[in-house]
Structure 1
Amino acid sequence: MNIVKFIPILDTLINYDKRNFRFDLIAALTVAVVALPQTMAYAMIAGVHPAYGLYSGIVLTIIASSFGSSNQLATGPTNAICLLIASYMIPFVGSENFFGNLFLLTFLVGTIQLTMGVLRLGSLVNYVSHAVIVGFTAGAGIIIAMGQLNNLMGITLTSGHLSSIGKVIACFQSIDKINYHAFSIGIFTMAVIIFLKRINKNLPGALLGVIFSVLLVMILGLEKYGVKVVGQIPQAIPPLSIPNFTLSAIGDLGTGAVVIAIIGLVEAVSISKAIASKTHQKIDPNQEFIGQGMANLGGSFFSSIAGSGSFTRSAITYQNGGKTRVTGVLVGLIILMVLVFFAPFARYIPNASLAGVIMLVAYSMIDKKALAKVLTTNRNDAAVLLVTMLTTVFAPHLEQAIYAGVAISLLLYLKDSGVATVKTLEPVRGNDGQFVEQIGNGQDTSISILQLEGNLYFGSSADLDKKLSDSYSNSKVFLIRFKSVLIIDITALEVIEGFINRALAEEKRVILSGVTPKILRMLDKMHIIQHVGIENIFMEDDEVFATSGKALDEASSFVRNVSYKTEKISAQAYLTR
């Protein structure tokens, strides 16, 4: 195996353009500022000390960026994954091996993901369409913004864990408790970002906005006015850990690991594809599977909880100019440096300032041009987009939006593919003696030419049966043309056989043209050739309409009751190969 291909960071470093370092560093600093409080908060959702979220933010981010496919994907603790971790770890709360089992869960998730990547199962994500990605991205932007409203307004929610919609409702119910100092800090941060971006898009507006906010908190002593800050951050590097490798623990956590692994992969690849649609990077899902697997696998030995791609942090990476996967490595190193050297200063970061950064990121995630294009181009894609977006906003779990989008996409595809195309054609001799085709007008009833098109399978067999029945006429000869058939299965062939048997029973002649070798073998195995006769089978020809012309000559000969031989490709030759 090519080690550079297996470890993409090596290729990035070998061919690294030094001009990108400034962009990667600025993006990494901005992401790290957001990741510090975010990873701590997610760890608390998972039911563990905030320090374990920081450890995951260091280890998982560095490893996933080194092995993954996307240049902008930021890996670490996420809301959805941490909620699942809390659910599956409930039976172990208070036990001696709680942390051993916690890290075993991370190990199992990584093992499953890495195995799927090595087996090249990344093609499974091809069932996530562009409309799903656009809808998921827009919906995620909405819920991210809603989830930060209470922090922006400085309102303390006392109802425990709430959904994004629940937070919005709670905020409006407690509007009289708004902290105007915190709200002003958040609006100030947003104003700084917008102003600096208008001056120069390359300025690190989010980072400078947070730094200015920290200075205001420290100089004006805003904490005494109720402005909440990130608070104390532990000064430590990720310690080594040993998962609890026992068969009983593996059995207890196996199902949960599978669920978390699959949801984590769907999240990571969906986010990667969403950002790649803007950066035009080609994403390799198999390599992304490997990257996520290696991150969780390695993280299990460095006190990390399972993680996946973060929509918020990935979007910040993109919006702040991160060019390469070096950004993710720098994020991990910066968080590590903050833990070791700058923890006392980072504690002054106001939550309202971070909420302002995240809200602007959420707004930028809604690709208005892509939304308009999908909504106005195709009704099916528009339906998929709306279902995905609404499910993202209203469903209790984020991953359900992906499932809903994929499900509605497949249902609409099956609905459309359940339609069979049967055209009644008539030949018209042109001036050059060639046959041209046009939609039949029903004037000539001696010969009926039926052209079958597209995918003929069990899903479209009912429609095929109806359309063949409607096409049945008093013609003496039915010429069935297979030239435009892409796929055909035994169910569709049984429908065609029923039509042929009806015609033969009424002493009509049936001729099959444009038959491929594959279809011929299927006709032979179903004994259709025995009923029709090998002399009435005309094989596919490279010359356009050539086989139909030969078959038509044969049909005309039969109608005129004139016996003459016509040159044709031998179907028998294909059967004896």
Structure 2
Amino acid sequence: MHLSRFKYIPLIGTIRNYKKEYISKDIIAALTVAVVVIPQSMAYALIAGVSPVYGLYTAIVSTIFASAFGSSKHLIAGPTNAIALLVAGSMSPYMAQENAYQLLFLMTFIVGALQILFGVIKLGKVINFVSHSVIIGFTAGAGVLIALGQLSTLLSISIKDSSHMSTITKFYYVLTHLSQTNLYALGLGVMTMVIIVICKRINKSLPGALIGIIIPVIFIVIFALDQKGVKLTGAIPSTLPPFVMVQFSLAGVQAMFGGAIAIAIIGLVEAISIAKSIGTTSRQKIDANQEFIGQGIGNLVGSFFQNFAGSGSFTRSAINYHSGAATRIAGILSGVLVALVLVFLGGFAKYIPNPCLAGVIMVISYNMIDKKEIAHIVKAGKFKSDSLAMWATCLATIFMPHLDFAIYTGIAISIMLYLKDTNKVPVRILIPSQGKDSQIIEKKIESVKGKVDILIIELEGNLYFGSAEDLETKLDGLIDKAKVFILRMKYVTSVDLTSLNALKIFFRSVKDAGGIVIISGVKSELNSLLKNSNVTSDIGEENIFMTENEIFASSTNALEKARSAINCDPTDSGEKSASCTLLESVTNFNGSTGGTNKSTASL
């Protein structure tokens, strides 16, 4: 049986090639990840606005299936901060309804189905439309929003009908009711944050979040702080995630679809970015489309086991890799271990104080703001596309009523700014001239004041409809500036019909003005386009020179044609023009590289 038959089930290949020495490595990594994921998943559930048990369910089912079907052998999926916030934003209008959780699991199903669809139809490159700056901006804004949303829990200030309020409204309410702060709750939350920071400074491998929750629990039990207004998590079911059929309805799909698209896209960007980052170090090639399918299966299957949408976690994936995980089995085992903890130790979760979970979230929120990357983007240019897209997405995330709109805003701004940056055609104007020792050099000029014999116009990049107007404007200003134009196309990657029409207008205008256009460096696909568009009839097929294997051959042929075009016969005084002398030196050179400046020979 060949492994190629199971290319969409990477787990089979892992099992068939599994070695004994991998067992201890995968178990140690799984234990380390499980210690971290338990407090994290409960905290992320609170961000999503649901009971902590659903975070544990997601950390079990989603993690196991995403590890089994994903491309990366180190990526750990499950609940994440950014996705949890998107879930909360999408579900906030519906949480007061009786069928709120049914809609939540339906949205998880839609997210998974979309991600699988993206992978099946091989839309791996779709993530390129979400720029790095948009993700940095969204993550920073999400960090601020998450922190503001947890203030009421940290201070133990109750807010009535909070499910209908925006985070900014809740924040304003907290500021105006600070007198209601429960100092015991605040003390426990601050204790958790301090413990996490201290553990990180002592040793990054220490499970600071878990220690930061266990120690305050001791205070809760000893001093009965739950009787002094400190709210506890409460009892959670000590059972495995139950199978519950997703409730499908047209109205439900319509309500959840918009948010599901944003969650699906951001979830995939998050997962692929993390997988590729670790893959660079581990030297593992990541198949984006297979990772799409893996993430999609994790969410789709998870929707039947009361999961909210998840994605790849950078923290847990990095811990998994640095703990020595050898295969994807480590990720699967981490989910199994969380399930065992839930079954045998779930009863103790009722003593966990909500302010301590809020403290964990506060530290996570702070770490979400990538200050170094923000500084790097700003340093590159405050008004550059990347910087503008980042700040626009960040502000939209904080102030827009729907987070999915913030994502779409960031993507739209990125695309618009990209198009703005690419609607200018790089056009270099060059004049061949005589250098020292009979060398021919190219002189780049910004503008042509008078009229010259030969003008070289070098075009670069992708000539598409967005840049056609700029191309036409620049060429129009050169029509009467030379007798012969050599249009260098060797650096042009593609030409669409709109830009080709701009070129045709230039060719006809030059012809009407009595000039000649010669095209050099024409690739075969461009030559076919020129013929099919009847461009050859405008300038003559003899004036089109193909790109050839011989170095500079196309440009040399174009120069020979230019020499005959400007009539280099001697004048009555027996002298030749400087251009003719120059052209003869090049054409007599006959394409060899000896004695000719390299930059000039690239004519």
TM-score range, shorter chain: 0.7 to 0.9
8 Å contact from structure 2 (residues 41, 55) kept in 1? no
State the match for 2:353 in structure 1: 350
Aligned: 1:165 with 2:133: no
Deviation at 1:301, TM superposition (A): 4.1
For residues 113-262 of structure 1, the aligned pairs below 5 Å read: 113-161=115-163, 162-243=165-246, 249=248, 251-256=250-255, 258-262=257-261
1:337 correspondence with 2:343 = no
**Does 1:6 pair with 2:8?**
yes
Q: State whether structure 2 residue 34 is matched by structure 1 residue 28.
A: yes
Per-residue CA deviations over 1:463-515 (Å, capped at 9, x if unaligned) read 11111111222532222222222221111121111111122123322222222
User: 1:168–1:93: structure 2 CA closer, same or farther, 3 Å change rule?
Assistant: closer
**For residues 536 and 108 of structure 1, do their structure 2 counterparts lie closer, same or farther at Cα, with a shift above 3 Å needed?**
closer
Q: Paired residue for 2:502? A: 495
- TM-fit CA distance, 1:537: 1.7
CA RMSD of aligned residues (A): 3.5
Change (3 A) 1:103 1:449: closer
Alignment-mate amino acid for residue 64 of structure 1: A
Which residue type is aligned with residue 125 of structure 1? I
Measure the CA separation in 2 of the matches of 1:436 and 1:314: 53
Please name the residue that 1:516 is paired with.
Answer: 523
- The C-alpha deviation readout for 1:378-417, integer Å capped at 9, x for no partner, is 4221112112222222222333333222211111111111
Distance 1:462 1:138, change over 3 A: same
- Please state how far the C-alpha of 1:253 moved relative to its aligned partner: 4.4
Structure 2 residue aligned with 1:438? 443
Q: When the two structures are superposed, what TM-score results if normalisation uses the length of structure 1?
A: 0.84
Shift of 1:351: 1.0
Counterpart residue identity of residue 466, structure 1: T
Matched residue SS, 1:513:
strand
1:111 aligned to 2:113?
yes
Say if 1:211 and 1:7 are closer, same or farther in 2 by CA, change over 3 A.
farther
SS at match of 2:514: coil
The Cα of 1:459 is off from its aligned counterpart by: 0.8
Matched, 1:294 2:297: yes
Name the residue aligned to 2:421. 416
With over 3 angstroms needed to count, the CA separation of the structure-2 counterparts of 1:53 and 1:23, relative to structure 1, is closer
Q: Which amino acid aligns with 1:267?
A: I
Q: How does 1:358-373 map to 2 (within 5 A)?
A: 358-373=361-376
Gaps of 5+ in 2: 571-579, 592-603
Q: Aligned partner of 1:171: which letter?
A: V
Q: 2:548 aligns to what?
A: 541
CA separation of 1:155 and 1:294: change in aligned 2, threshold 3 A: same
What's the offset of the Cα at 1:272?
Answer: 2.4
Structure 1: where are the runs of 5+ without partners? 570-577
- TM-score, with length taken from structure 2: 0.81
Q: CA 1:553 to 1:317, structure 2 compared with 1: closer, same or farther past 3 Å?
A: closer
Q: Provide the rounded CA distance (Å) in 2 between the counterparts of 1:102 and 1:130.
A: 28
Aligned 8 A contact 1:264 1:309 in 2: no
Shift of 1:286: 1.8
Which stretch has the larger CA shift, 323-332 or 166-175? 323-332
Q: Which residue of 2 aligns with 1:553?
A: 560
| Secondary structure of 2:365 counterpart | helix
Counterpart amino acid of residue 268 in structure 2: V
* Offset of residue 454 of structure 1: 2.0
CA distance in 1 between counterparts of 2:365 and 2:126 reads 28
* Corresponding residue of 2:475: 468
Q: CA deviation at 1:183?
A: 0.7
Q: Which residue of 1 aligns with 2:533?
A: 526
Q: CA deviation at 1:206?
A: 1.5
Aligned mates of 1:452, 1:178 — CA distance in 2: 66
- Tell me if structure 1 keeps the 8 A contact 2:162–2:170: no
Once the two structures are TM-superposed, the CA of residue 250 in structure 1 deviates from its matched residue by 5.4
Q: Deviations over 1:134-168 (max 9, x none)?
A: 22222222222222222222222224223332332
In 1, Cα distance between equivalents of 2:336 and 2:47: 20
Q: How many residues align?
A: 554
Per-residue CA distance 1:41-87 (angstroms, 9 max, x = gap):
7474xxxx876665445323322233234544432483433654676
Find 1:74's aligned residue among 60, 72, 77.
77
SS of equivalent residue, structure 1 residue 403: helix
Same amino acid, percent of matched pairs: 38
Q: Cα distance 1:280–1:358, how it changes in 2: closer, same or farther (>3 A)? A: farther
- Give the alignment partner of residue 447 of structure 1, picking from 439, 444, 454: 454
Corresponding residue number in structure 2 for 1:393 = 398
Mapped partners of 1:151, 1:307: distance in 2? 23
Alpha-carbon distance in 2 for matches of 1:361, 1:537: 62
